[in-house]
Amino acid sequence: MKYSAYLHWKIFQLLSLLALFQCFTQVKGITSISITNETDKDFVVSWAPATGSKFRVFVQSGAIVKGDSVFDDGTEEVSPFLVSSITGSTDQLSPNTVYGVEVHEAASDSTNTSATANVTTNVGQLIVAPTITSFTVDSIAIRWNEITNATTYRVTWNSGSDETTALSYTIKPLDASTLYNITVAGKGASDKYGAESPVLGAETVPAAPTLDSVTQTSGAETKNLTVKWTKNGGDSIKFYTLNGLNTTVTKQHIFGTSSYTEVVGGLTPGQEYTVFVTATNDVGTSTSSNSLTNRTNPDKPYNVTASPTEFNTQLNVSWAYSGFANNFTVNIYVNGTVSKTVHSLVNGMVIDDLTPGQEYTVTVTSVSGNILSIESNPSNPVRTNPNPPTDLSTGSTTSTTVNLTWKKPADGIFDGYVLYRNKTLIKTINDNTTESTLAEKLEENAYHGFTLQSTSGNQTSVDTTVAVGITKPGVVTNVNATRGPNKTVEVQVSFDPPNNGATTYTATTISDDGSSNTPHSNNEPPITVSGLFPGQTYSYEVFATGPGGNGNVTTGMNQITTAPFPVADLMLYNSSNTYLFVQWTLPTYGIFDGVVVGHQTSELTKSSQPLPNNTTSYKISGLTPGAQYTITVTTVSNNVNSDIMEITNSTGAASVPGLNATSQTTNSIFITWQKPNGTVTGFRVTWSPVDIYFTTTDTKSSVVNESTVSFNITGLSPGNLYSVSIQSRSTDNKYSSPTTDHFPTTPLPVNITAVQSVSTSTVNISWTEPVDGNYTNFIIRAFSNGNLAQNLTTDNTTTTVSIPNLTPGTYFNIEVVSEFYQVESEIASKQRVPTYPDLVANLTVPATVNGINFNVTWDPPVAGSSENYNVSINDTVKNQVTSEIVNNTTYITNTLIQGTKYVVQVSSVFGGLTGDSVSKTSLLCKYKSHRLS
C-alpha cells in the first residue's frame, strides 16, 4: 500500500513536468535536459519538446563526457520519460549509481540537435520499518538498519522531519498519548533521499491528568467521595486509575471526552484520602496527577449513653462510632435546648459544670477534619446527682419513732428525699419543700444512725452526716399480776419485755381506793411488790427504761387482790347421813367480804356456799349417804380466797340406784344396778315371791362384792311376780336403805292347734293354754313377708280368735304368745296360711264370634296376688262345663260349636285356694259364612 502511494506520486510529478514543457515547447532544437524524481531504481528525464521533432533517449552506465555523442543509439520517447533501465538492457537501475543520459532531437527540417546530462540514483529504501527503543510522554526514540551507500537519513513523523547521519533518532517534543506514523529515508551521492521506509506507528506515554476536585457526597452518605479530573494529551488513553483510596478504581477512557467524574464508594467514614489519577495506554502509564486531599463524611455516633458520676455536677458520657474521627462535638440538652457544648478527642468524656439534679439528654457529632457528621440520636434522659441536704439532726423520740429536721440543698434541682437508717432505706419523701420528717417503725431501745439524701428522678445525692437518735424502750406486753409467795401482802407482776429489751423495769401498784401507790423496780421480770394490805384490790402498771428514756406505761390486764387472812378454829361438831355441821373463828386483820364453805368427796366435788362476812357456822345438808366429805372454809375478798381450812368426815351408806331386770326366763330374773356415789364395800340382793295381795313369802338373799353390778336370780316359778331389793354396804359394814322393785318371770308358751283361712281377709286360729304358771292375756300376730300385718290381744280365757283385715291372696305366718306383766312367753310354734285370692278384674269376652275361636282376657286381682287362674266355659245347649287352669291372663279356645251360646267364668287361685268367680258373661257363636262359587 505504501509503494502504491509512492507510484502515484511519481506519476503526478511526471505529468506536471510534461505540462510545463508543453508550455515552453521550442520550435526546434534541444538545448538542455533535466533529471528529476530520482529514486534508487529510476529517474525522470525531461526536455522541451518541439513541434514536428522526434526524440530519442539514450541511457548508459557511467557519466557521459561532454562532446561524446551516442545519438545513434536509444529509443524514441516523449518528454518526460521515466528511465528505469539502461538503453539496450532490461536490468533495473542500481541504487547510488551514476548514469549518463542523452536526448537527441530529429527536427522536421532534418536538423538534429542533442543534449546530455549525468544523474546518480538514490540510495535504497529500508525494507523493515524502524523500531522503537524508548518512548516518553513527549518523545519517541527509534533506530533502523543501515541503508547501503546512504550518508544521511531523514526521519519523518506526523508533524515534522529531521535529518541525521546516525542509525537512531529521538523525536521530540511530541504530544502526549498521541499515535505517530514515522518513516525513515536515506540519502547518498545523489544528495537526494530515497523512498520512505515502511511506516512505524508509535504512541507517546499519556500525560498526567489534571485532578480537578475531590468532594464529599451530599446528605448522610459517609462512605463515598466524588472525584473529577481532566485528561491531558491525545486520545490514545485506554483507562484512568484513581489512586490513594481503599481500593484501586479504574475508569475507561471515552474517545473525545476530556472531563471525567467518578463516585467512589466503600470508603471509611471520616477518613482522609489523598487522591491522584494516572492515565494508561498501550505503551505505559502516565505519571501521577496532582493530588488532592479530602475526607469522607464522618458517621454519626451511636449508642450514646450518659450516667451520673459521684460528683453532682458531672455526667459520664460514652458513645460508639465507626470509621475515623479527629474529635467529637458533644451537645448537652435541657428540655430540647442546647445548654452546653463540649469537645472530645475520644469516644467518651466526663462533662463538668452541670446543674445538680438537672435532667439532661446528650447528642454527639463526629468531626473529621472540619467536616461534621449528622448529630447522633439523643442519649437516655439522665440526671446529675442532686446536692445533698445539710444540718440533719434528731429531735423527740418514742419507742419506734424519731423526729428529724434538716436544711434543703442550697442550689440545684431536686424533687424529694430518701431517708436511711443504718444504711438501710426506710422512707421516701416525695416533697421538696419539707425540712422535717418522722422516722417510724424503728427498733425499740436502740441507737439509730440516720442519713438523708436528696433525690432527682432516679438519682440521689451523697449522704448527709450521720444524725444519731436513741429510741425509747417499747411497751411491755402481757402485763399480769399474781399473788406472791406471801400472797396476803405480796404481788408478783409479770410481763413480756419489749422486743429489744430495756435497762430496768418499774411496776407500780395502786389500791382501788387510791390510798396506796407503791413502785418497785427490777432489771428483769417478774417484779415483786411487797408491803401490801391483805384482801386489798390493786391495779398495776409497768414501764421500761433505757438510754433513750422511759417507755410508755402499760396497765395490767386486770386488777389483783391480795389474799385475805383465813378463818381459825374450824371444827365439825354434828353430822348425820345427810348433813354435816361446822363452825369457825373469823380473822381480825385485813379485808374480806365473805366466807365460802365447800364440801367434796374423794371422787366428786359437790358444792360451795358463799356466806356473809360475819358468818361463823354452817350446816351442810343434802349430802350423799355413805360418802366421805372434805369440808373447807375460806374467807373471800373480791373473789380471792384465803388459805383453806378443812376437816374430813363421812355420811352413812347410800341407796343403790338403777335397779332393773334386763332379762327373764320362766325360772330366772337377771337384774342390774348402778354403783352409788361414795365408798361401797359390797351389795346385798334380796328376793321373794309376791301373792295377789303383794305379800312376800319365802325371802332369800345373796351378797356380792363392790365391783359387781348384776345378779341372776334362779330357781323361780314361771309366770310369777317377785319382789327384788338391793342394798349397798358402807365401810363400817352398815347397809343402806333398800332399793326395791317387782319383776315377773316369763310365762309358759302356748301351742297352736288349728289355723284356717275362711275368706279373702280372715283367718281363724285356735290354741291351748299354758300347762302351768300365771298369765294375764294372749297376743296373736300375723306377719307377711316379715312385716307385722295384724296384732291382736285377748284375755287369758280365750283360746280361739278370727284375725280380720288381712290382704287377699297372701301368705301369713301366725304366732301366739302368753303374756304376764308385759313379759311375753317364748313362741312355741308358728303356722303359715294363705288367704283366699280376690276377684279378677276387667274380664273381657266377645259378645259374638264368627267361627269356633275366641279370646278371653282379664286383669289380675286389684288386691293381693294370684298364682294362676281357673277358666270355665259352659255350653248352655249341652249343659257341659269345660275347666282349665292357666298361668296368665289370656285364654284362647278353638273348640266352639257354631250356633251355641256359652257362659265364661274366671276365678283366681292362690295357695291352693280358689277364689270367687267374676259375674258371668255370655256370647253367641254364629255360623261361619261361606262363599258360593
pLDDT digit string, tens, across residues 42-80: 889 998 877 778 888 888 888 887 655 555 556 678 888
The CA distance from 473 to 445, in Å, is 4
Give 815-860 pLDDT, tens digit per residue: 999 999 999 999 988 999 999 999 999 988 877 766 667 788 999 9
- What torsion do the CA atoms of 648, 653, 658, 663 make, to the nearest 10 degrees? 140
Chain mean pLDDT for the chain = 87
- Residue 127: pLDDT above 80? no
pLDDT of residue 602: 67
Banded model confidence at residue 607, pLDDT cuts 50, 70, 90: confident
- Residue 105: pLDDT above 90? no
- Residue 605: pLDDT above 70? no
Domains of the chain: 33-62+78-120 (no CATH), 131-203 (2.60.40.10), 210-295 (2.60.40.10), 302-383 (2.60.40.10), 390-470 (2.60.40.10), 477-561 (2.60.40.10), 568-651 (2.60.40.10), 660-744 (2.60.40.10)
Comparing 861 with 848, which gets the higher pLDDT? 861
The answer to whether the CB of 844 falls within 8 A of the CB of 858 is yes
The CA distance from 487 to 495, in Å, is 19
Nearest alpha carbon to residue 690 among 789, 810, 774: 774
pLDDT of residue 852: 67
The answer to whether the CB of 505 falls within 8 A of the CB of 495 is yes
Task: Read off the pLDDT of each residue in 859-883 and give the average, rounded to a whole number.
Answer: 87
Banded model confidence at residue 350, pLDDT cuts 50, 70, 90: very high
- Residue 562: pLDDT above 70? yes
**How many CB atoms neighbour CB 610 within 10 A?**
14
Banded model confidence at residue 4, pLDDT cuts 50, 70, 90: very low
Give 615-667 pLDDT, tens digit per residue: 999 998 888 777 778 889 999 999 899 999 998 877 777 789 999 999 999 99
C-alpha cell at 396: 423527740
- Per the rule left: phi > 0, alpha: psi between -120 and 50, beta: everything else, 52 is left
Strands (DSSP E) contained in 323-430 are 327-334, 337-344, 348-351, 359-368, 371-372, 382-383, 390-397, 402-407, 416-421, 424-429
C-alpha cell at 272: 482522609
pLDDT of residue 341: 94
pLDDT of residue 850: 66
Place of cell 255350653: 875
pLDDT of residue 28: 52
Task: Read off the pLDDT of each residue in 484-493 and give the average, rounded to a whole number.
Answer: 92
- Residue 21: pLDDT above 70? no
Peptide bond connecting 519 to the previous residue in cis, omega within 30 degrees of 0 = no
Task: Read off the pLDDT of each residue in 376-395 and give the average, rounded to a whole number.
Answer: 94
Task: Read off the pLDDT of each residue in 340-353 and give the average, rounded to a whole number.
Answer: 94
Comparing 450 with 38, which gets the higher pLDDT? 450
pLDDT of residue 925: 53
**How many CB atoms neighbour CB 798 within 10 A?**
14
pLDDT of residue 7: 47
Task: Read off the pLDDT of each residue in 341-348 and give the average, rounded to a whole number.
Answer: 94
Banded model confidence at residue 359, pLDDT cuts 50, 70, 90: very high
Banded model confidence at residue 909, pLDDT cuts 50, 70, 90: very high
- Residue 8: pLDDT above 70? no
The CA distance from 18 to 14, in Å, is 6
Which helix (H) or strand (E) is 179 found in, with range?
strand 179-187
pLDDT of residue 630: 87
C-alpha cell at 517: 401507790
Task: Read off the pLDDT of each residue in 23-29 and give the average, rounded to a whole number.
Answer: 43
pLDDT of residue 406: 96
Mean pLDDT check: name the lowest of 166-180, 204-218, 329-343, 875-889: 875-889
Task: Read off the pLDDT of each residue in 922-932 and give the average, rounded to a whole number.
Answer: 49
The CA distance from 8 to 869, in Å, is 163
pLDDT of residue 809: 93
Give 272-331 pLDDT, tens digit per residue: 999 999 999 988 999 999 999 999 999 999 999 999 998 889 999 999 999 899 999 999
pTM for the predicted model, two decimal places: 0.44
Residues forming a β-bridge with 98:
120
Residues forming a β-bridge with 202:
180
The Cβ-side half-sphere exposure at 29, using a 13 Å CA radius, reads: 1
The answer to whether the CB of 551 falls within 8 A of the CB of 472 is yes
The answer to whether the CB of 902 falls within 8 A of the CB of 895 is no
The CA distance from 885 to 861, in Å, is 16
Over pLDDT 90: what percentage of the chain? 57
- What torsion do the CA atoms of 858, 863, 869, 870 make, to the nearest 10 degrees? -90
- Residue 1: pLDDT above 50? no
